[in-house]
Amino acid sequence: MKLRFPTILRLLVFALLIVFLIRPEWFASVFRPLTENNAPAIYNQGSLLTLTLLHLRTVAIATAGATVVAIALAILVTRPIGAEFLPLSRSLVNIGQTFPPVAVLALAVPAVGFGEKPTLIALFLYGLLPIFENSLTGLTTLPPTVTDAARGVGMTGWQRLIKVELPLAMPIILAGIRLSVVINLATATIGSTVAAKTLGEVIIAGLQSNNLAFVLQGGLIVGILAVMIYDGMSAIEKFIAKRTGLVQQT
Amino acid sequence: MIEIENITKRYGAATVVNDVSLVVEPRTVTVIVGTSGSGKTTLMRMINRLVEPTSGIIKLDGEDNRSLPGHELRRRIGYAIQGHGLFPHRTVAQNIAIVPVLLGWDKAKIDKRVEELLSLFQLDPTIFGPRYPHELSGGQQQRIGVARALAAEPNVLLMDEPFGALDPVIRSKAQEDLLSIQKRFGTTIILVTHDMEEAIHLGHKIAVMDGGNLLQYATPAEILANPATDFVATLVGTGDRPFRFLSLNSTGDAVEPGNAEGEAIPASASQRDALAELLWSGRPALPVINEAGKAIGRVTVEGLVKRASRPAA
């Protein structure tokens, strides 16, 4: 495979991110001009690497939960037995999306206490919609000849789901998961307002001490992570879509 | 043998198939012809219970087709559809192996069967087996669709407009392939089409449907000679009738003693092809050769024209 410019650029940015997370002090001079009154240029209240990993963990757990629930719901409402639950599930998932995560945090803290838990609840609810809607689209827009053939060759309902419907819907479902991950990567930062260990801590610390360097560090790491994960998942989707013949090979 | 007894299918107030009865003899090709909305596809889909009838019974070899769960019944009946319906995420070999895998055949037997079928359809197993359906041409995809339907050696093969998406040249090749496969395996085939030409060419018997009713169920010769209703006559096409009639029989059946000049025609060609050749080349007679290439007589314009006239009722 030939390395093209965008690929090289991504690898460079990724390498830069890793170096920054392991040895942030090497970049102190870059961030120095953003500070005032001799404030520290590099976040000094904890390890950036640890915060990044915790941030990713929170997003991963919340998205995994949302993925399982959203796909299960989509499967349920596309079976004859669950068809009448479609409008209800749609409303529920829509409420999850329209309810502001900050409000979810405020409501969840009295119930489950401070820390990671309220953040997980907020991200879980916020991540449901894209995955559910995409799974629904994927499962209901399969080529009719293929679904007919699946019945015609004698597959049971379960076999059709596992062997035909889910694999063919997978690229669209993955696109939903990708959207959800990217949204949640950014949203997870507000978890730090309720003491969750995320990169939001860096940003909030910067805002409190009026230190632009901190705000920028937290924001940049989240931004770069989002872009990298977005690209990585797009590549996986394309690969699977090519395999399934859903898009013409170029 | 497939016995369809008083089958009716209603969707709400609409009757899609109305009290149809017919018997399909084993090892024959039966073609169900009709316009769209005639109920022909619904009738066929009730045989493997993709559609459940409102009333009536369908028996396969004397056994009610409801005596098995639907999916098990369908594994025993081949099913090929227009636009092939191949699974795009599975290779050609995996597609063909679908039903044997569902039936739990062992791997060696499945591999052998896949190879056998690919060779039968003139596709090299080592080249085409690992390919994905979208890497094939339309004609190749259609052949794989039929190969998949035949994979578990079913006695009965249902085909829903299997050649509808093919261009004319590939279609006639596919039709010839189907006939030779039917002869070879003795499969009972039920094929749905809107094309009377195809029906006359492929069917031992033709069932003509319109508005959910079975208008006529007879041999192609009978349908051409004595269409039961005006609608059947329209489908047959009065202008083409003599030529379609000629297409039913081979040139060998029309051979007369004697010699003729010029290029010969094989005895296996249809009488219609023979007449076409006579008219086009402007000759009064053609020599006829058998499979060994030996002259066995001649066909004449006069003789063929006589055969193209309506048989006495």
Which residue is associated with the tokens 């028996």? B59
Residue of B nearest to A240 (CA): B89
Nearest residue of A to residue B48, measured between CA atoms: A152
Reported as a single tens digit per residue, the pLDDT across A93-149 is 888 778 888 888 888 888 888 888 999 999 998 889 899 999 999 999 999 999 999
**A245–B134: do the CB atoms touch at under 8 Å?**
yes
Intervals of chain A under pLDDT 50: 248-250
> Would you state the structure tokens that stand for residue B10, as one six-digit string?
């209603």
Give the separation between CA B5 and CA B7, rounded to whole angstroms. Answer: 6
Q: Which residue has the higher pLDDT, B230 or A38?
A: B230
Asked if A167 is an interface residue toward chain B (Cβ–Cβ < 8 A), one would say: yes
Lowest mean pLDDT among A220-224, B181-185, B281-285: B281-285
pLDDT at A245: 64
pLDDT of residue B312: 63
Domain range list for chain A: 46-243
What is the model's pLDDT at position A250? 37
Q: Residue A54 carries which DSSP code?
A: H
Contact, A173 vs A161, CB < 8 A?
A: no
Nearest CB partner across the interface for B81, out of A152, A154, A156: A152
Chain B positions touching A171 (Cβ under 8 A) are none
* Cross-chain Cβ contact B99/A154 below 8 Å: yes
CB contact under 8 A, A145 and B85: yes
pLDDT of residue B169: 85
Which residues of chain A are within 8 Å of residue B89 when distances are taken between CB atoms?
Answer: 167-168, 243-245
Chain A partners of B79 at a C-beta cutoff of 8 Å? Answer: 149, 152-153
Nearest residue on chain B to A154, alpha-carbon basis: B71
User: Are the beta carbons of A152 and B89 separated by less than 8 Å?
Assistant: no
Pairing of strands B188-193, B156-160: parallel
Which of A142, A146, A153, A173 should we substitute to test contact with B (largest number of B Cβ atoms within 10 Å)? A153
Q: Do B85 and A152 touch (CB under 8 A)?
A: yes
Asked whether the predicted pLDDT for residue B44 surpasses 70, the reply is yes
A37 CB within 8 Å of a chain B CB: no
> What pLDDT score was predicted for residue A126?
87
Helix (H) or strand (E) run with residue B209 in it: strand B205-210
Instruction: Please tell me chain B's helix, strand, coil percentages from 3-state DSSP, rounded to the nearest 5.
Output: 40, 25, 35
Sheet holding B2-11, edge to edge: B14-24, B2-11, B55-60, B63-64
Place of tokens 């396969």: B60
CA distance B99 to B101: 5
**Chain A residues inside the 8 Å CB shell of B50:** 148, 151-152
What's the topology of domain A46-243?
MetI-like fold (1.10.3720)
Q: What is the pLDDT of residue B14?
A: 93
Question: For residue A249, what pLDDT is reported?
Answer: 40
The CA distances from residue B99 to A153, B23, B77, in Å, are 6, 27, 10
Q: Are B132 and B73 in contact (CB under 8 A)?
A: no
Mean pLDDT lowest for which of A1-10, B227-236, B255-264?
A1-10
DSSP state, B53? -
Chain A residues within an 8 Å CB radius of B81: 145, 148-149, 152
Among B147, B239, B138, B150, which Cα is nearest to B186's? B150
Q: What is the pTM of this model?
A: 0.82
Interchain CB distance below 8 Å, B71 and A167: no
Top residue of B47, B82, B87, B131 to mutate, by most chain A CBs within 10 Å, is: B87
Q: Provide, as residue numbers in chain B, all residues whose Cβ is less than 8 Å from the Cβ of A167.
A: 89
Residue B139, CA distances (Å) to A132, A146, A209 in order: 38, 17, 71
Query: Cβ of B148 under 8 Å from any chain A Cβ?
Result: yes
Does the interface predicted TM-score (ipTM) exceed 0.90? no
Nearest residue on chain A to B99, judged by CA atoms? Answer: A153
Q: Cβ separation of A153 and B99 shorter than 8 Å?
A: yes
Question: Residues B144-174: pLDDT tens digits?
Answer: 999 999 999 999 999 999 988 888 888 888 8
